Structure 1
Amino acid sequence: MFVPAGNKQGLIGQTRTSLQNQDYPGNWSIVVVGDSSDDGTVDDIQNTRDTQTKHLSERPLPECWTGKLWSLQQGINAISRRGRSPTYFLFS
């Protein structure tokens, strides 16, 4: 599950908890991309102690991209570079 989290410091913990409480069978993880956050969202994500949530450092936003779409694309690229071929990508 990819979660773009631009300036969502007050919500990212609730979002993560809600996703973790899903009873979806199978192997899955939560990948959060900071989406140019400057409010402490990234700190909240990095201070997480669960193994199911991963944080991706964001690269600068290129021209002609919006923040959310760029974050989602970076998530796809990161998974692809690791040689994984998931059946589905889930976006939040």
Structure 2
Amino acid sequence: MALRQKGYQVGRQRLRAALRRRALHALQPKAYTPRTTDATHGLRCAPNRLLDQPKPTQANRFWVSDLTYLPLANGDWAYLCANQDMASK
């Protein structure tokens, strides 16, 4: 913006190439990532009760799930929860 105000015709690629020739780089702000998990909470984790169980042979006996956060294009966040039947996958 400062170069354009001084009358220079500079595009993004030309500026990037000029900076690269001088071994410089532009400072980019870090992308915002929310702190969604506190791994240092000091509480007990729930035990995995399926480790001691035999492999399921019938559908709808054991289900597992996972939850994650997804960034949306408008800057908001959404939850994604995936469920899976351990017998039929």
Q: TM-score, normalization: structure 2?
A: 0.23
Q: TM-score, normalization: structure 1?
A: 0.23
For CA contacts below 8 A with separation 6 or more, give which structure has more relative contact order.
1
Q: Which has the higher strand share?
A: 2
Q: Which has the higher helix share?
A: 1
